[in-house]
Chains A and B, each alone.
Chain A
Amino acid sequence: MSTAAQKKGFGATLWEWLTTVDHKKLGILYFLGGGFFFVLGGIEALLIRIQLLVPNNDFVSAGLFNQLITMHGTTMIFLAAMPILFGFMNVIMPLQIGARDLAFPFLNSLGFWMFMLGGIFLNISWFTGQVPDAGWTSYTSLAITSEGHGMDYYAIGLQIAGGGTLMTGINFLVTIINMRAPGLTYMRMPLFTWTTLIASAMILFAFPPLTVGLFFLTFDRLFGGNFFDHEMGGNTIIWEHIFWIFGHPEVYILILPAFGIFSEIFPVFARKRLFGYTSMVFATVLIGFLGFMVWAHHMFTVGLGPTANAIFAVATMAIAVPTGVKIFNWLLTMWGGSIKITTPMLYAIGFIPSFVMGGVTGIMQGAAPLDYQLHDSYFIVAHFHYVIVGGVVLAVLAATHYWWPKMFGTMLHEGLGKVTFWFFFIGFHMTFLIQHWLGFWGMPRRVFTYMDGQGWNTANAISTAGAALMGIGVIVLVINAIMTTVKNERVGNDPWGDGRTLEWAIQSPPLFYNFPQTPLVRGLDTVWIEKQEGNESGITPAVPLQDIHMPNGSIIPLLMSLGLFIAGFGAMYRLEASWGLPVLVGGLAFTFLTMSIRSIKDDLGYYVTKEEIMNDLKREGGRK
């Protein structure tokens, strides 16, 4: 492992990736897995837009349309946006805090495989022809009466993937709390690490309600439960509360890391310290806190009463304050800076107006009386795509270009990167800006087609054309990635030239133990400080060169997740097939068996010796 020059067979390489517990490799797996689902969700989106291109279209049936919108939303939120962000957190956050891995490398692997198998479980529904079709929010008045096993795939698939997310959230938290390099106080942490910390804390408190809600749904559909069946005393509103108590924090779990990514990009390419660092941290924490106080703004029209609506409306608008603080801090970071327009910086600059528009429409919906007009119209669709695409997806694309060299050791082509940006950015605004008006003109969301002569035709056509442009942008990105990988031109530690944080002071990609010596952190943007003082390497070591303790790889995480995956099918087909119950019990028993093996077998890791580190450094030195 330490001698990278060795050529390995395909089997050995595959085994290495299946058993890896290295945060950088798992980060890449998250990135590729999330990328795959992102393309899948994108194809679903394009099919939706083709169906809505003209009135009275019959490109897809009404039933298939419901399946497409459900799977598009579910895939994009749970299987694309979060995992890709998790990929960046996995690779970059430990590097930014000077750590050698996450606190629990084994758990990290388990989290990834649970996400991956949960995602595959959900998408196997396409092959069985019984696809989730009650919307990504799965309101139970629809979900418990949905025919076939579609909603079971949803409930069980998300249960497995959600478990993985929760574990990884705890993992990030402990890593940041316990494993920061000497000198790295909380108020010296890079903003991406800060947002990872807060987003992980939100995961910790938001995912358990989802777990419970999905269990209720599974019980109701498969095990004769009565949580949501009003004839048996159940109450469907309970699901709405539980779902949004999870669901609203979830959107901040997505957007905070996106804020963190842009907070890294602005200072590097404006070549200026992040403006208002302290207020940025404070705003992040405050958004994280307020994110839990606003879930009922998704339920204004349910009839909770004017008092509840008023409280949640005020809390919702309060979030605009810390968010506004952030926007102004980014603008003032650029102000007077020596700006270099690279691809990541283009995304960052494009993000500000896009996200502000999404924020403003959010405030409009936060006003409960107005929300009665906007509810379930295309205005809502426009709003949440403006915050998710205009915020999260632009951040993910920016980070892909920005951290590609650190993850893969090569540099994406800048020209093609800018082509991607312009196609995507123009396509995005073309698709969703017009949808605000579609909402005002009365077009309801989630309809599979519409009648002619209502004045919606042109707007829908424009929207579909925009979606095609976004698709072209993504294709250019994929071509760019393939070309770059084939060319394989290696880059140095800091290919952007102005890196400020610790990840830019080590190799691209880093050695598997990241830091030969744990670094000493002397302030915010420590690498920048070191360089200003003439230290070319950007790092002052905190300790002498010594043996490094590293964790062993393991196949057990994959097997554990596989047990749950198999049990899921058993649970689903328990009622109609004789093999159902044995498979359910067998799968769970297999998972418990692997857990027991993990518990009983000591796994103490191994040491990388000083001599090996010296050899690595000599070889790396020769390559530069």
Chain B
Amino acid sequence: MDLNRKFTPETWPEHPETATLEAKNKFVGFWLFLGGEVVLFATLFATYLALKNKGPSGMEFSTQGLYELPLVFIMTMLLLTSSLTSVYAMYHLKNYDFKKMQLWLGITAFLGLGFLMLEVYEFVHYAQEGFTFNNSAFSSAFYTLVGTHGFHVAIGLVWITLLIFRNSKRGLNLYNATKYYTFSLYWHFIDVIWVFIFSVVYLMGVVG
């Protein structure tokens, strides 16, 4: 593949993310990987539901007493918005507008970072109350489920940062278009998982 081939918005393919065989492979492979990730999170959710509120006799923690919805609401808004901004980025990817795409991806990363900071704050807050990973089966399951999601967010942040800086000088080509596009798929996936965490862990924890 020729990285130096210059495109204009007119010659840029309608679907740059699947314009070559390598790109198609990455595209399909990534969708399949996300399929595996669904099962991974399904297993974590099932375990969490089985161990929710379970602990040594006399455990003081329960979902009702622990979770605070206002904080989680702000986190949700940050992550949902970041999904929207990544859509804008992909819009500009398809229109061959590299600068605007980078800008929107930067905003996406910034929102993602905000989410992650709040999650760290939340975990530290719980730990200070005594709800540590080792506290009970409930705490182990909670931190593993929500923490695995947070770990995915962190990986996504490293990924997009590398992409933004690696390509900042050379602009879009058919080689990195797929990389950007699969990142956006990943980011949406993380977002969908969070919607489930928000509903199943936090909402059902406080209301249910």
Contacts and interface: CB of A to CB of B under 8 A. Distances in A.
Contacts of A13: none
Given A205-B35, A227-B47, A604-B3, A178 B25 contact: yes
A229 B43 contact: no
Contacts of B67: none
B25 to A, nearest CB: 4
Given A232-B56, A232-B137, A604 B36 contact: no
A238 B47 contact: yes
A599 B160 CA distance: 11
Interface in A197-250: 204-205, 207-209, 211-213, 215-216, 219-220, 223-227, 229, 231-235, 238, 242, 245
Contacts of A219: 140, 144
B137 A234 contact: yes
Nearest to B28: A174
Given A224-B133, A232-B56, A177 B28 contact: yes
A208 B43 contact: yes
A204 B25 CA distance: 16
B21 A224 contact: no
B114 to A, nearest CB: 23
For B3, B137, B139, the residue with the greatest tally of chain A CB atoms inside 10 Å of its CB is B137
Interface residues of B, number: 37
Interface in A124-178: 166, 170-171, 173-175, 177-178
A224 B47 CA distance: 17
A600 interface: yes
Secondary structure type dominating chain B contacts: helix
A596 interface: yes
A212 B47 contact: yes
B162 A596 contact: yes
Interface residues of A, number: 42
B102 to A, nearest CB: 17
Contact of B25 (A104, A166, A212, A232): A104
Contacts of B166: 599-600
Interface in B48-73: 50-51, 54-56, 59
A178 B31 CA distance: 13
Contacts of A170: 29, 32-33, 36
B134 A226 contact: yes
Interface string A594-607: 00100110101000
B141 interface: yes
A227 B25 contact: no
A433 interface: no
A216 B47 contact: yes
B186 interface: no
B176 to A, nearest CB: 9
B136 A226 contact: yes
Interface string B90-115: 00000000000000000000000000
Given A212-B40, A212-B44, 10 more contacts: A170-B32, A178-B24, A204-B39, A205-B35, A219-B140, A233-B55, A233-B56, A233-B137, A242-B43, A599-B166
23 contacts: A103-B28, A103-B29, A104-B25, A104-B29, A174-B29, A174-B32, A175-B25, A177-B28, A178-B21, A208-B40, A211-B40, A212-B43, A212-B47, A224-B133, A226-B55, A226-B134, A231-B56, A233-B136, A235-B54, A238-B50, A242-B47, A596-B162, A599-B159
Interface of B: 1, 3, 21, 24-25, 28-29, 32-33, 35-37, 39-40, 43-44, 47, 50-51, 54-56, 59, 133-141, 144, 159, 162, 166, 175
Interface of A: 103-104, 166, 170-171, 173-175, 177-179, 204-205, 207-209, 211-213, 215-216, 219-220, 223-227, 229, 231-235, 238, 242, 245, 596, 599-600, 602, 604
